[in-house]
Amino acid sequence: MNKILYSLLLCFFVSNSLHAQNRNPYSGTDSIIKALGSLDSFNVATITDTLTRRYSDKQFKARAIFYWISNNISYDLKGIKSNDNRRSDAEMVIQTRKATPLGYAKLVQEMCSMANIRCLTVDGYVKNYADDINNPPDELNHSWNVVQLGQSPEEWYYIDAAKASGYTDQKLNKFTRDFTSEYFFADKSLFNLDHYPDNGAWQLGSGPKNLKDFYALPVFSNAAYIFGLKKPQPTTGFIKTKTKNTTSFNFPYKNDVSVTSIMLVTGDEKKQDKPEEMNFSASSGVISFNHQFKKEDSYPVRIIADGKVLLQYYAEITE
């Protein structure tokens, strides 16, 4: 009887382990890199060797580098506020353990180069808040990486270690660490809705044709990658409607993700309204719901799935 019970338990744990690996094929690598800790007092070369020497596959070398950087480097809030990238050199980032997005990207590139992985830094644009919709900035505001593992165009991949590390408040006064695994070899179609490169050669696949089109899109939050969102409806980030009308929302997402609640929140961070629970349907990999905006005003709109912000719009509601 004990042997039977042991066999059943073994099958259960093996099944769960395989399921976890299928959901995150890098879980083993992540656990190893996490156990290495912060590697204080090491320089870039020593850290890179420590992270990657156990792996022969470049994909897992790159994952080790991405995971360590995203979990051990914090946002340089002062540098980001003033758009000051003077401290973005890889060794300086390692010494201070802080970086602007350019600093994150340059550190990824430097470590990948040391690990014999072709990696380039891409400068461009992202939207972080609903206020950014239809408001392109005067200068570049983000950086990320493209990594090449093979000779075909399909073997270039996106990495955004800065976004993966966490997020800030709108005034850039506080950084909250919140690791998002999916920014490694990110889904290209979603990434192209969320990032716009200054050099169009580094847009891997189809995406917005120009900066104006990019800034017309909704804002995709980190959780959009976890849920595997595709292009949503409404397709533009600015919603102009009347209080008597109904707005339809729908967005494709990953079939293997369970969604139990959808909330809609209006208003900015300081003056937001009470969250409204949506009566939604989730079938054939698409979440759908309707909403009637009853308050006449202009305000940000956030769509939240299971407590995580997925999308942000900006609404202008009239009678």
Q: Mean pLDDT per segment of 10 residues, for the chain of length 319 residues?
A: 42 39 81 97 97 97 98 96 90 97 98 98 97 96 96 90 96 95 97 97 94 98 95 97 96 90 90 92 93 95 96 96
| Statement to judge: residues 53 and 118 lie in one domain | yes
Do 58 and 121 have their domain in common?
Answer: yes
The reply to whether 141 and 112 lie within a common domain is: yes
Task: Give me the domain span that covers residue 41.
Answer: 24-217
What 3-state class would DSSP assign to 165? helix
Same domain, 208 and 268: no
* 32 and 159 belong to one structural domain: yes
- Are residues 122 and 194 located together in one domain of the fold? yes
211 and 243 housed in the same domain: no
Which neighbouring-strand residues pair with 120?
Answer: 146
What pLDDT is stored for residue 84 in this prediction?
Answer: 87
Question: Within its chain, how far is the Cα of 121 from the centroid?
Answer: 17
CATH code (residue 271) = 2.60.40.10
What CATH number is given to the structural domain containing 167?
Answer: 3.10.620
Does residue 16 sit within a domain?
A: no
Say if 262 falls within a structural domain.
Answer: yes
Residue 7 lies in a domain: no
Q: Are residues 155 and 301 in the same domain?
A: no
> What Rg value do the Cα atoms of the chain yield, rounded?
21
Please check whether residues 149 and 292 belong to one and the same domain: no
Q: Is residue 66 part of a domain?
A: yes
Residues 212, 246 within the same domain: no
**DSSP code of residue 318:** E
Beta-carbon contacts of residue 17 (< 8 Å; ≥ 6 apart)? none
- What pLDDT does 23 receive? 67
Q: What is the Cα–Cα distance from 191 to 56, expressed in whole angstroms?
A: 28
The answer to whether the CB of 172 falls within 8 A of the CB of 80 is yes
Are 38 and 174 found together in one domain?
yes
Same domain for 213 and 296: no
**Structural domain contains residue 2:** no
Interatomic CA distance for residues 165 and 70, integer angstroms:
4
Q: Is residue 4 assigned to a domain?
A: no
Residue 224 forms part of a structural domain: no
Q: In total, how many domains does the chain have?
A: 2
Q: Among the three residues 186, 217, 248, which one is the final residue of a domain in this structure? A: 217
Neighbours of 4 (CB within 10 A): 8
